[in-house]
Chain A
Amino acid sequence: MNIVETIWIHGVAVKPEYNDNINKSSYKGWGSNFLCENGKDNWFHVALSTPVIINGARPKLSKIYLLFSTEHGGIGEINIRSIHLYDGKHKVRSLDSLNLSGDHSSAIDATNTIALTPPITIQSGLGISIGVSVPIGIGPSSSFPVKFATIGAEFSE
């Protein structure tokens, strides 16, 4: 399968769905950092400028990359539970029960690379929605950080 185009977007483009469940959002040169509230799961969304036609042909989305990091919060660890892929309004793939955690923000590795089998033909804008599971920590002010450095998508023939 020949790669036609790989697109990336910086982590500062990530938006949380439930702002009320974020204790602090930081946007930095290296990406975004969200301090998630104790026990409050959340979703994060990012849109990639999507090449749906190249020279008259429609490439297929074959791989996505999610360079992120999570940190241990004392009693448990925040983790990425789900990644859902949207083609405009339509959910075209659900990846659940993932439980991804740790520091995978600086280089591509097996954890932050997700091959899509079969690959998906995308007709409009690609949206990547990231479901984060936040454990119940100790104390009311506990926060669990999740950081996004960059998100990518690979399109193949």
Chain B
Amino acid sequence: MPSEQETEKYVRKAAIAGCTIMSEGNYMLCDWMFGGGCDKAIEKLFSSLPDSWKAAGKTDYWVVAQPIFDMMQKIWSDSHELVDQTWDETRKQLGMSSAASPASSYLDDWLTREGWMESAEITAGEFLELPEFLASSLKKKIALTPEKGPWAWHSSKWPEVCDSDCVNLFHKMLAYLYGKYRVERIADGVENTLKYITATLSNTEYSLDLGLIAKAVWVHGHALEAETPEQLTKTDVKGWGGRFHGEKDALNWFHAALTMPSTLGNQNLRLSKVFVLFKTEKSNPQYFSALIKHIHIYDGAHKIISLDNLSLSGDHDEHLDAQNCHFLYPFPSIKTGLGISIGVHFLSSNTSISFSSIGADFITAKN
């Protein structure tokens, strides 16, 4: 069995080779990872745009954004190809037989849980290279709108007839947003996936097949119990979940127990992810919200994972997103009952937290 260091060497080599043989749309991702980082990659992206798209005249911003959009889609698909190809090539170099790659699944998981779908916006005034084409353009903005998809964007009203400075600014802002909030995440995800490939192929203690979720177990949100009910001003048990109104400045804990298997057939299972679907609400917009500050995972009486220094708030009770999914690398085995404890800080009076569902994914351990 190759050592971890030796395996990593092959993984890096395969990844860099993958960059050189793949389509030119991938240069941005590879530059990001192996080259000059964000600024250089964005500059390169912008300079690659044909001049006709930057020309002055009546401008349809959806049309001029299309080439960047297409390039981003390509980077997305290429990143998956890159990690799968790295998996295949490294196995080959290590003299291993071919096996289905779990790498792109791992990449997807990583991205989903690490802010892939975060929203972001930028205004022209805060963009460093602002041309002096219109004073009123300082407040022009472009925002990523992830509720419509990872690459969807929305802008404030830009001039219908736009000079070349205006078009250039629009392109640069969009490229910057995509670069900073999407390509940078993909690059981080690929980097972490390369580490995962190294760990898996060198058969370290975390060697796991992440391709298949062996079992997923969930419990409904109205099953949670508060640790200190006397510090709650109200508790609602509803069909859609449980809602807890906390006293101001109180840190309360909410506990959920999941009935879970320690084995499936004759295979041992390990906990790979936990999900806490929640929503924080406040009666006055000026109030501070409730915040999830801690998520602790217990195996019976033993605390095995502490996720601390969190500041989770908002509406995350319907769909999986980066705020409500937590990837638990290196995946612990659970030998007894699984407990999930959630520490919530109620920063103002009249704030509440609702839980709609709590879940956990289990994967099969190879060793």
Q: Is B275 an interface residue (CB 8 A)?
A: yes
* B67 → chain A closest CB, angstroms: 37
Complex: A122 Cα to B237 Cα, angstroms = 21
* A43 → chain B closest CB, angstroms: 7
Q: Is B122 an interface residue (CB 8 A)?
A: no
CB closest residue in chain A, given B267: A55
Query: What's the interface size class on A, roughly?
Result: 20 to 34
Are A52 and B218 touching (Cβ within 8 A)? yes
Are B220 and A52 touching (Cβ within 8 A)? no
Are B237 and A17 touching (Cβ within 8 A)? yes
Among A7, A16, A47, A51, contact of B220 (Cβ-Cβ < 8 Å): A47
- Residue among A7, A47, A125, A126 facing the most chain B CB atoms (10 A cut-off): A125
Q: Is A124 an interface residue (CB 8 A)?
A: yes
Chain B, interface SS category? strand
Complex: A17 Cα to B214 Cα, angstroms = 35
Instruction: Determine the chain A residues whose CB is within 8 A of the CB of B356 once the complex forms.
Output: 88-89, 124-125
Are B318 and A15 touching (Cβ within 8 A)? no
Q: Is A105 an interface residue (CB 8 A)?
A: no
Complex: A91 Cα to B346 Cα, angstroms = 28
Complex: A142 Cα to B178 Cα, angstroms = 66
Q: Is B305 an interface residue (CB 8 A)?
A: no
Are B220 and A88 touching (Cβ within 8 A)? yes
Among B214, B220, B238, contact of A48 (Cβ-Cβ < 8 Å): B220
Instruction: Determine the chain B residues whose CB is within 8 A of the CB of A49 once the complex forms.
Output: 217-219, 258-260
Q: Is A13 an interface residue (CB 8 A)?
A: yes
Among B214, B240, B275, contact of A89 (Cβ-Cβ < 8 Å): B240
Are A53 and B213 touching (Cβ within 8 A)? yes
Instruction: Determine the chain A residues whose CB is within 8 A of the CB of B239 once the complex forms.
Output: 43, 45, 84, 86, 91, 127, 129
In A82-120, which residues have CB < 8 Å from any B CB? 84, 86-91
CB closest residue in chain B, given A58: B216
Complex: A126 Cα to B218 Cα, angstroms = 8
* A146 → chain B closest CB, angstroms: 16
Q: Is B241 an interface residue (CB 8 A)?
A: yes
Q: List 26 A-B contacts (CB under 8 A).
A: A7-B259, A17-B237, A47-B220, A49-B217, A49-B258, A51-B215, A51-B217, A52-B218, A53-B214, A54-B214, A55-B214, A55-B215, A88-B220, A88-B277, A89-B221, A89-B241, A89-B317, A91-B239, A124-B357, A125-B219, A125-B356, A125-B358, A126-B218, A127-B221, A127-B239, A127-B240
Instruction: Determine the chain A residues whose CB is within 8 A of the CB of B221 once the complex forms.
Output: 47, 88-89, 125, 127
In B171-228, which residues have CB < 8 Å from any A CB? 212-223
Instruction: Determine the chain B residues whose CB is within 8 A of the CB of A50 once the complex forms.
Output: 217-220
In A33-47, which residues have CB < 8 Å from any B CB? 43, 45, 47
Known A88-B277, A89-B317; contact A45-B218, beta-carbon cutoff 8 A: no
Are B240 and A125 touching (Cβ within 8 A)? no
Q: Is A139 an interface residue (CB 8 A)?
A: no
* B361 → chain A closest CB, angstroms: 7
- Residue among A15, A51, A53, A90 facing the most chain B CB atoms (10 A cut-off): A53
- Residue among A47, A54, A90, A91 facing the most chain B CB atoms (10 A cut-off): A47
